[in-house]
């Protein structure tokens, strides 16, 4: 069975994230969507809220498992016999970050590979931080956030 993990903070999940999840689910038998902890981020949604939003948006994908971890992604991979980490890459700064992570991950777990997926054109600039900023200024976020959670995201971030 080919398994992959797609980690991220998903704070909140965006249409860009969902696009990568859907595409990844076609490539692997089992895809773990890992809500991971980043020491450099301040979260707007709890881990449980993020998991529930992702589950709501991926309920039609039978090979997707949504979970969380406060460990390193590569440790999660080791513990779950996963050899592929899928990451989205929107721009050059994403590439620099992923290149560094790739080196550390391979040092910690030599059996892991990283696959970088490019966003579709309409999702190239979508980011969770941009969505938060749009809500702050009262803008419509429906082009950037999956339909089932638009209202939930808007209400949480507006308050």
pLDDT tens for residues 135-158?
999 999 999 999 999 999 999 998
What pLDDT score does 91 carry?
76
Write down the pTM of the prediction: 0.93
What pLDDT score does 99 carry?
86
Q: Domain range for residue 96? A: 3-158
Residue 134, domain CATH: 3.40.50.620
pLDDT tens for residues 62-114?
999 999 999 999 999 999 999 999 999 887 787 888 888 899 999 999 999 99
pLDDT tens for residues 118-134?
988 888 888 999 999 99
Helix (H, G, I), strand (E, B) or coil at 30: strand
Q: CA-CA distance, 91 to 45, in Å (whole number)?
A: 25
Domain count, the chain: 1
Q: Which amino acids are annotated catalytic?
A: 17, 41, 90, 128
| Token pair recorded at residue 125 | 């600039």
């Amino acid at each position: 069975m080919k398994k992959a993990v797609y980690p991220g903070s998903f704070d909140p999940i965006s249409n860009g994230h969902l696009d990568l999840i859907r595409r990844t689910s076609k490539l692997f038998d089992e895809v773990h969507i890992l809500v991971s902890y980043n020491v450099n981020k301040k979260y707007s949604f709890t881990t449980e809220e993020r998991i529930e939003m992702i589950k709501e948006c991926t309920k039609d994908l039978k090979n997707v498992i949504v979970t969380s971890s406060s460990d390193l992604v590569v440790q999660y991979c080791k513990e779950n016999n996963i050899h592929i980490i899928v990451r989205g890459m929107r721009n050059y700064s994403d590439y620099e970050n992923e290149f560094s992570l790739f080196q550390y991950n391979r040092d910690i777990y030599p059996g892991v590979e990283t696959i970088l997926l490019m966003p579709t054109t309409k999702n190239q600039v979508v980011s969770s931080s941009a969505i938060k900023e749009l809500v702050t200024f009262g803008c419509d976020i429906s082009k950037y956030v999956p339909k089932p959670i638009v209202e939930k995201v808007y209400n949480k971030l507006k308050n």
